[in-house]
Structure 1
Amino acid sequence: MNKLTFKHHALALAAASLLVGCGGKDAIAEEPAVVVAATDAEDLALKFDATKYTTVNITVDGLAVKLRQYRIVYVAKPIKALLTQSNSTLTDANAYQTMIVSVPEDKVGDQKAALYFLVNNSGWMASAVSTTITEGKAFVSTTDTDNVGAALKAGYVFINVGTRSRGIVAEDGRWMGKAPAPVVDAKAAIRYLRLNDTLMPGSAERIVVTGTSGGGGLTAAVSASGNSADFLPFLDEIGAAGITGSGAAATSTIKDDVFAAVAYCPINNLGNADIGYEFEYSAVRSDKNTGALGGVVYSAGQQPAASTAIAAKFAAYVSSLNLKADDGSALTAQGLRDATQAFVKQEIERQIAKGTTVPAIGGNFVTTRGGPGGTTTTTLVNDWLTLSGSSTTATVAGIDYAKFVNYVAANQALKTAVAFDPVGVTGNKNATTGIWNISGETNLFGPADMRYANYSEWSWNNNAALGDGSGTDDTGLSFAQYMALSSTTLGKQIKLINPLAYLNTAADSAPYWYVRHGMVDRDTAFAMQTLLYYAIKSDASVKDLSFKLPYLVGHSGNYDVQEAFAWIKAKLDANP
């Protein structure tokens, strides 16, 4: 069923019925003239109501635009959240499984418009739905930072999607956002759009998923795993559209693949993010660029040994993937470094061609980045990039990759070791209270009645937090032994949020990918992003991949709106 076109919901036998096709108990018969009305109560409950909207007046490029805005709970069995969370207060218990759909009035009847599907989830944190498209707001489509204005100017339906993820508590006290919750919720929202395709503006065959950081990782995971049966039991639990049967017997009558992915600095492949990070940065870590843990400076504590041990696992992991380098040889960890260096070279030469002044050896790189305290400017001497030729026709003569990595770490301090799965290990306690810090992505994993679970080998085997239910100290099992148990959900969780687990498989990966990771972004390893590049590139269903390391850009997204939207338009125009 994966390759069929699912526009069958245009047909109706009665005012309250929708049509469901391609298999299952509600299948359309082989003869095209015969149709069967949907009897699935959940699908009927998820029927789009075009009358339930609010009117929002904004301007785009100074011109008045009237929008219809729909607030939709996209599952039939939402998991209600506590209204008072640790870092926020909600007004709607369903806010994590709600989307806001904004449609210009002149696009209400447009069945071809693209759906710009924006997920949040910075740091893989849960994201209650919200939108910046509010009454009286002004947007500008011609800047490089206003993706809302660009999307509305292009005539796209703009969709803000809330999803569960780490750190949130349900009304019953359970941790409701454990993996794969964010991926499952995004898929459920996509399924709602497909179920109601002909009732809603735009085309669910033209969904462009986009997000930054954890949202970029979520974008990659959703876009890689289209129509995978692995998610059906989880979709069934929340009453997602198109699910027939339950548990291991669940089947689907609706697709959840997407047209394109626009992913900025995607924090992806979390199960291997730490080994990639230490492979990238272990050799340049120091007290100057790595913070203290538990009041102990980097060089005096457990971090150096941890970093070295974790980094040693990466080469074997890369080899196990059996990916190919550009020349057809087996991709290796060193090959990833070589490829990253080539991407840096390409970007610098692209900037020179545009007229950007790039400093020669001994000159200064100047970067700026925003943060809670305002804008930070950093000036560092170029000791890694050698140019040849004049300033307007220069080419890159050489890059000292080790010094380049050191430059990135000097531009912004590295994450401490362990970077992504740190809970209960390497002295990661509050220096005053002695309480284990809940940091990194550790609390995305484990069962719903546990606050967190270590999900990487080194952290599991070195967990020292007695009584947390995680690690060899509490289970008596090494990570390998624990992962071999059929009863554990941890292995499934790690897989279900990892795009590399679905690229180059039977899953229907998005055919179009636009991936960006800033040239001075140290929030995840360049090696992990270049690895994602090779996995996408090798997937036979991928038709186009645009991948860059933008010049002097840090951990951020939507800084190249004109380029990104020109790329989106080109792909949509090529597929009318």
Structure 2
Amino acid sequence: MGIGATAGAAAVGGIALSANASDATSSSASDSLAFDPDAWTKLTKTITDTEGTEHTVVYHFWKAITYVAEPVDATYQSLIVSAPVEIDGKAVDASDAPILLANSVGGYLPASVATATEIGGGGSATGGAAPGGAPSASSSASAQAAAPGANGTTNATGGATSSNQLLALAAGYVVVEPGARGRTLKNSGGEYYGTAPAAIVDLKAAVRYLRANKGRVPGDVERIVSAGTSAGGALSALLGASGDSPLYDPYLKALGAADASDAIFATGAWCPITDLEHADGAYEWNWGANDLSTGKPVDQTVSKALRAQFAEYQAGLKLRGLGGFGRLNARNLDAYLVEQYLEPSATAYLAALTDSARAAYLKANTFITWSAGRASFTWTDFLTHVGARKKDAPAFDAFDLSAGENNEFGTGRALARHFTAYGAEHDSTGLTTRRVASGIPAALDLMNPMHHLSGKANPGRSKHWWIRLGTKDSDTALTVSANLAARLDNLGDDVNHLYYWDEGHGANTDPADFITWIARVTGHKSRHP
């Protein structure tokens, strides 16, 4: 197992590569990264579907496999594979089944499957060790705990979509769970080796490994469907948007990634924490009127400045809303969100209640007008209903470099860096240069799916998208997934996007529908719960 890059590491666009970059080649990696189809352990799992019915699934399980020839840290750069062979006593042939690639990244923290002994055995780290995994030999728990956002103060950890893995297995799909490096990893020399773009490079390398092993790894490598939550949702969306982008080639070559495509067929993203360079403005546009949970109002000078920045950004996107809404801008985005997402979400929620439960809910929430089986309300009343916002201003590029996202853009021995001009200009840590570092723009492009969907959109992107967000999720702005969905829809992609009413960060209230959606978009005829 390797450790982080040394001082002699090469760099591309100001972003460090591993020290062995010049020695690794993709072609040799493909030759050495052969999946052993016979190295499985037979396991049995009882899985309860969303209707409460139990299914007995016998499956082949492959323990952690390193997916690159020159790993920086194999504890994280490994994956596990689960393939069903019998469901409820009936033999299953999963050789042509869709592959669910489910990452467990949360908060841009490291995720490991190194010691997993069954499906769902990996997790996202909040300190020195990943749940279900082992601490990196080259990382320090105390050093990681001191990193911005490492104690759960930023984004929720991943795994909220873990029910997807089990339901997918019970439906006859192959499930692959990749680990990935994260922002808190630090080597013995004090250098961070899991910051941007490490996580997305690792996930791409995992896809390349699967594709290079077509015919050996179980499942249809042409039908890989990604899934992730929070930062993992952002990485899932990025994986789908950036398929086969040459921007990542130097990083993949440095790791000895397999010589294969890293494009995926479909993308599932739950509450994606993404579009980070514009996230502060989006957050203030969305939640700027709401106080913090302590009752403290945010600095309105900061909030207004960021809202103005977002208005300019939103206009520049030139997006057309779904449902024939027309051009989206900061003046009509609230009406769009209410009409396209929030009222339909509330309507579906209320319609599913019993008459007495619905009456009780409406009595407690008088801002909703219920007429002819449809809910209606104003944006202002909706904000009041949600109540306290989770994050201060700025929410992502904190003036004191305390946000997890500041750590995500750290480099070398620098724990955290500003990644927006506004954050750098208002730095409160005493930096002498109040400008973003030269390598930041390139790092942002590598981490933002919108970059790959703008202008001449990436032709290697996935064309099928499942996007979900809770209406009470103030970990990010409701606009983030709405803009992503609008961009994809404008490009002609198949977009299934909705909001869960009254749900918070990491919600996944329709997992069975996601499994059915996979069958539909991939054309796979199989049983599913």
Q: TM-score, normalised by structure 1?
A: 0.72
Q: Which residue of the partner structure matches residue 170 of structure 2?
A: 153
Q: Which residue of the partner structure matches residue 374 of structure 2?
A: 395
Structure 1 CA distance for aligned equivalents of residues 183 and 75 of structure 2 = 15
Q: Which has the larger radius of gyration?
A: 1
Contact kept, 8 Å, 1:115 with 1:159, in 2: the verdict is yes
Larger relative contact order (CA 8 Å, sep ≥ 6): 2
Q: Which residue of the partner structure matches residue 129 of structure 1?
A: 113
Q: Which residue of the partner structure matches residue 390 of structure 2?
A: 414
Deviations 1:45-67 (A, max 9, x none): 11112233333332342525142
Task: Give 1:454 shift.
Answer: 0.7
Structure 1 CA distance for aligned equivalents of residues 182 and 470 of structure 2 = 25
Aligned partner of 1:168 among 185, 188, 210: 185
SS of residue in 2 equivalent to 1:313: helix
In the alignment, structure 1 residue 97 sits paired with structure 2 residue 97: no
Structure 2 CA distance for aligned equivalents of residues 351 and 160 of structure 1 = 32
Structure 2 CA distance for aligned equivalents of residues 267 and 562 of structure 1 = 23
Q: Which residue of the partner structure matches residue 217 of structure 1?
A: 234
In the alignment, structure 1 residue 404 sits paired with structure 2 residue 397: no
Q: How does 1:473-488 map to 2 (within 5 A)?
A: 473-475=431-433, 477-479=434-436, 488=438
Deviations 1:60-80 (A, max 9, x none): 425251423232100111113
Structure 2 CA distance for aligned equivalents of residues 239 and 39 of structure 1 = 5
Q: Which residue of the partner structure matches residue 42 of structure 1?
A: 29
SS of residue in 2 equivalent to 1:72: strand
Q: Which residue of the partner structure matches residue 299 of structure 2?
A: 303
Task: Give 1:347 shift.
Answer: 1.7
In the alignment, structure 1 residue 527 sits paired with structure 2 residue 507: no
Contact kept, 8 Å, 1:58 with 1:136, in 2: the verdict is no
Q: Which residue of the partner structure matches residue 16 of structure 2?
A: none
* Percent of residue pairs identical: 29
Q: How does 1:23-42 map to 2 (within 5 A)?
A: 40-42=27-29
Task: Give 1:359 shift.
Answer: 7.7
Task: Give 1:131 shift.
Answer: 8.3
Q: Which residue of the partner structure matches residue 271 of structure 1?
A: 277
Q: Which residue of the partner structure matches residue 78 of structure 1?
A: 71
Task: Give 1:136 shift.
Answer: 13
Task: Give 1:381 shift.
Answer: 4.1
In the alignment, structure 1 residue 228 sits paired with structure 2 residue 178: no
Deviations 1:223-279 (A, max 9, x none): 11111111111111111111xxxxxxxxxxx21111111111111111111110011
In the alignment, structure 1 residue 339 sits paired with structure 2 residue 336: yes
In the alignment, structure 1 residue 558 sits paired with structure 2 residue 516: no
Q: Which amino acid aligns with 2:481?
A: Q
Structure 2 CA distance for aligned equivalents of residues 131 and 548 of structure 1 = 36
Contact kept, 8 Å, 1:188 with 1:241, in 2: the verdict is yes
Choose 106-115 or 202-211, whichever is displaced more. 106-115
Structure 1 CA distance for aligned equivalents of residues 439 and 356 of structure 2 = 49
Deviations 1:94-148 (A, max 9, x none): 12101111122458964311111111211121212268763999xxxxxx98323
Q: How does 1:353-372 map to 2 (within 5 A)?
A: 353-355=351-353, 364=361
- Cα 1:399–1:443, aligned 2, differ >3 Å: closer, same or farther? same
- Cα 1:357–1:523, aligned 2, differ >3 Å: closer, same or farther? farther
SS of residue in 2 equivalent to 1:217: helix
Structure 2 CA distance for aligned equivalents of residues 161 and 518 of structure 1 = 25
Contact kept, 8 Å, 2:70 with 2:256, in 1: the verdict is yes
Structure 1 CA distance for aligned equivalents of residues 347 and 391 of structure 2 = 30
Q: Which residue of the partner structure matches residue 256 of structure 1?
A: 262
Give the unaligned 5+ runs of structure 1.
1-37, 81-93, 138-143, 243-253, 292-296, 366-379, 426-437, 467-472, 483-487
Q: Which amino acid aligns with 1:501?
A: H
Deviations 1:450-477 (A, max 9, x none): 11111122211111212xxxxxx422x5
- Cα 1:456–1:575, aligned 2, differ >3 Å: closer, same or farther? farther
SS of residue in 1 equivalent to 2:500: coil
Choose 216-225 or 349-358, whichever is displaced more. 349-358
In the alignment, structure 1 residue 238 sits paired with structure 2 residue 255: yes
RMSD (CA atoms): 2.9
SS of residue in 2 equivalent to 1:200: coil
Q: Which residue of the partner structure matches residue 548 of structure 1?
A: 498
Structure 2 CA distance for aligned equivalents of residues 213 and 319 of structure 1 = 26
Q: Which residue of the partner structure matches residue 320 of structure 2?
A: 324
Q: Which residue of the partner structure matches residue 347 of structure 2?
A: 349
Q: Which residue of the partner structure matches residue 447 of structure 1?
A: 411
Contact kept, 8 Å, 2:42 with 2:58, in 1: the verdict is no
Contact kept, 8 Å, 2:399 with 2:428, in 1: the verdict is no
Deviations 1:183-218 (A, max 9, x none): 111000000000001111111101010011111111
Structure 2 CA distance for aligned equivalents of residues 442 and 357 of structure 1 = 48
Contact kept, 8 Å, 1:178 with 1:448, in 2: the verdict is no
Deviations 1:477-497 (A, max 9, x none): 545xx5xxxxx2110111111
Structure 2 CA distance for aligned equivalents of residues 448 and 207 of structure 1 = 34
Task: Give 1:500 shift.
Answer: 0.7
SS of residue in 1 equivalent to 2:264: coil
Deviations 1:135-184 (A, max 9, x none): 999xxxxxx98323311111111111101121111344310111111111
- Cα 1:44–1:173, aligned 2, differ >3 Å: closer, same or farther? farther
Count of residues in Structure 1 that have an aligned counterpart in Structure 2: 449
Give the unaligned 5+ runs of structure 2.
1-24, 48-53, 122-160
Contact kept, 8 Å, 2:243 with 2:458, in 1: the verdict is no
Contact kept, 8 Å, 2:396 with 2:406, in 1: the verdict is yes
Task: Give 1:350 shift.
Answer: 2.5
In the alignment, structure 1 residue 55 sits paired with structure 2 residue 42: yes
Contact kept, 8 Å, 1:108 with 1:201, in 2: the verdict is no
